[in-house]
Amino acid sequence: MLSDFSNELQLARLRHTNVIRLLGWCIHGEERILVYKFMHNGALDHHIFGMLSLSSNLF
């Protein structure tokens, strides 16, 4: 879990138009919190997995 959190912090150093900006982070006990810029069009996984679930219903 901590390694996933560390990986996210490393990725946050990237500056690219297709990568959402990390605004901040916090560790409080066992809680790990990442704060990202608001995404107006929704999360990418909702678009990807939403399309996959729609296509699987077609068969």
Model confidence, pTM: 0.56
Q: Tell me how far apart the alpha carbons of residues 35 and 23 are, in angstroms, rounded to a whole number.
A: 5
* CATH of region 2-57, choose from 3.30.470.10, 3.40.50.1100, 3.30.200.20, 1.10.760.10: 3.30.200.20
Confidence at residue 53, expressed as pLDDT on a 0 to 100 scale = 56
In tens, the pLDDT along 17-57 reads 878 888 998 999 999 998 988 878 877 778 778 766 555 55
Confidence at residue 1, expressed as pLDDT on a 0 to 100 scale = 58
Mean pLDDT, residues 5-12 = 86
Confidence at residue 28, expressed as pLDDT on a 0 to 100 scale = 92
10 in helix, strand or coil?
helix
Domain ranges for the chain: 2-57
Confidence at residue 31, expressed as pLDDT on a 0 to 100 scale = 92
Q: Tell me how far apart the alpha carbons of residues 43 and 25 are, in angstroms, rounded to a whole number.
A: 19
Are the C-beta atoms of 27 and 44 separated by less than 8 Å?
Answer: no
- Nearest to 8, CA basis, from 43, 33, 40: 33
